[in-house]
Structure 1
Amino acid sequence: MTPTTLKRASLTEQAADAAVDQACRMLRLPTIRGQFPDMADQAAREQMSYRGFLAELLMAECDDRARRRAERRFKAAAFPRQKILRDFDFSANSNIDPAMIHTLAKCEWIKKGMPLCLIGDSGTGKSHLLIGLGTEAAMSGYRVRYTLAAKLVNELVEAADEKQLTKTISRYGRVDLLCIDELGYMELDKRGAELLFQVLTEREEKASVAIASNESFSGWTKTFTDPRLCGAIVDRLTFGGNIIETGSDSYRLAHTKSAQKQ
């Protein structure tokens, strides 16, 4: 092969690379655009077929898109910290059935729009389970949003004052799973409780709500001072759903005491 032929072949490869780059920009294929040169060289070395090479490119793009979608869903969920079910110490709390948690992690209850209640004292793993199950849902393709009960009520009150309540309730109504943590930690005034009730009503039997509370249902009258409203909220959060009681023995306290002894 003469130098002229080599130069012509090199230019042809450069033109092909430029065409692929431009096409990937137009078609919005960033992964193929970034990996094409290296993957093309590897395909040549391994004498890969055209079909095999095309399949490798498209699979790389699909995998990367799935990863980016999962990252966006996780970011949109607004979890305060990373908590995954794999890290949960089931041996530290005999009240929690691992089989039930693993079943919930399959997200069938979310698909059916069923509620979930995690009830127990502080330090018994409620928030870990709430975030962990929410993370599983986000990774499975569901739209998830995490919030503290007090923060949600404050947001609803501000939205009502600014004539944006309908828009805000609709936004919370669109997610597949709404995780409300620390429900019952503080008393809500009648207006705040009524606004929260509107969010729950918007989602009733359509989309799942998961809550974590340090109060048993009988103690919710401290949070929702109107008995009728309290009963209606409990009804919406329990009908057809799962209730997990995490008990009263604090894992954090036991862990701290054990560390001090050691």
Structure 2
Amino acid sequence: MTSPHHNLTEAASDAAIDTACRVLRLPTMRAQFTDTANRAEREHLSYRGFLAELLMAECEDRDRRRSERRIRAAAFPRQKWLSDFDYRANPTINPAVINNLATCEWIRKGEPLCLIGDSGTGKSHLLIGLGAAAAMAGFRVRYALAAKLVNELVEAADEKQLTKTIARYGRVDLLLIDELGYLELDRRGAEMLFQVLTEREEKNSVAIASNESFGGWTKTFTDPRLCAAIVDRLTFNGAIIETGTQSYRLAHTKAQQQLKVVE
């Protein structure tokens, strides 16, 4: 039987550890200390082994929390992971190319990426999936719909906040612009979008998804010179992936309907 004095020392030690973990902001060590200490006694872990286990648990948890914060900050409209992408449904897309992009080397080099293809061919899935992979790898990522981004810039300009807003979009390591080419932008909106791209040029990566091939971009950017400059910014040293014309969303829906008919 342990002496009351020993119990008191152990209780005092536990209290001191609890307080120290709070002060040093080590929530995982604080939560796991008792269980890990008990297991260390049972399994006769060395002091070094015990300390290593606690510190590693804190580091892993901190990494996980950071990744979660970066995913939240990216403001993705929905969760999409590259691991869920169905390459069989869209044979146009080469898995090796996507796996290579998932290493994030292009983001380290500040290179652009364009995903061009019809609706339902997996552009947004790949855009968000690559963005999520970048966030998990430690990059600051931001997702925006082209129309929403332009509206935000126009509003910022009206409130004399344009420089600040452009700087905020300039800071992230990877800016994802989805649904570029769905609507015509007036000259002012197009110029502001161009300013964002210029701010990021050859420093930080931009990835876009568009349902229009570059030839059709004059519908979005009606000024031909501005259009050419934007295409130039988005393709210089960058990767262009064509996701094709066969909508696999449509194919999936048709297959489901056929199954119902068979049933």
TM-score (norm 2): 0.97
Shift of 1:92: 1.4
1:32 pairs, out of 20, 24, 29, with: 29
Give 1:162's aligned amino acid. E
Cα RMSD of the aligned pairs, angstroms, is 0.7
Residues 132-153 of structure 1 show CA distances to partners (whole Å, capped at 9, x for unaligned) of 0001000000000001000000
- Partner AA of 1:20 in structure 2: I
CA drift at 1:171 = 0.6
SS in 2 for 1:212: strand
| Equivalent in 254, 258, 262 of residue 261 of structure 1 | 258
CA distance in 1, matches of 2:53, 2:164: 44
- The corresponding residue for 1:84 is 81
Partner of 2:136: 139
In structure 2, distance between residues paired with 1:167 and 1:61: 36
Shift in Å, 1:129: 0.3
Instruction: Confirm or deny that 1:111 pairs with 2:108.
Output: yes
**Counterpart-to-counterpart distance in 2, 1:94 and 1:245:** 11
| Number of the residue aligned with 1:180 | 177
Q: How far does residue 248 in structure 1 lie from its aligned partner after superposition?
A: 0.6
The C-alpha deviation readout for 1:7-37, integer Å capped at 9, x for no partner, is 1111111000011011111111111111111
| Cα distance in 2 between the residues matched to 1:160 and 1:153 | 11
Q: Percent identity?
A: 78
Q: Distance in 2 between matches of 1:91 and 1:64?
A: 35
1:163 alignment partner, SS class? coil
The answer to whether residue 36 in structure 2 is matched with residue 44 in structure 1 is no
User: Take 1:47 and 1:95, find their aligned partners in 2: how far apart are those partners?
Assistant: 57
Partner Cα distance (1:249, 1:142) in 2: 32
Q: Partners in 2 of 1:146 and 1:164 — Cα distance? A: 20
What whole-Å deviation, never above 9, does each CA across 1:111-133 have from its counterpart, x for those lacking one? Answer: 00000000000000000000000
The answer to whether the aligner puts 1:13 opposite 2:10 as a matched pair is yes
Q: How does 1:1-262 map to 2 (within 5 A)?
A: 6-262=3-259
SS in 2 for 1:119: strand
TM-superposed CA distance for 1:38, in Å, is 1.1
Structure 2 portions without partners, runs of 5+: none
Shift of 1:246: 0.6
Give the alignment's TM-score, normalised by structure 1: 0.98
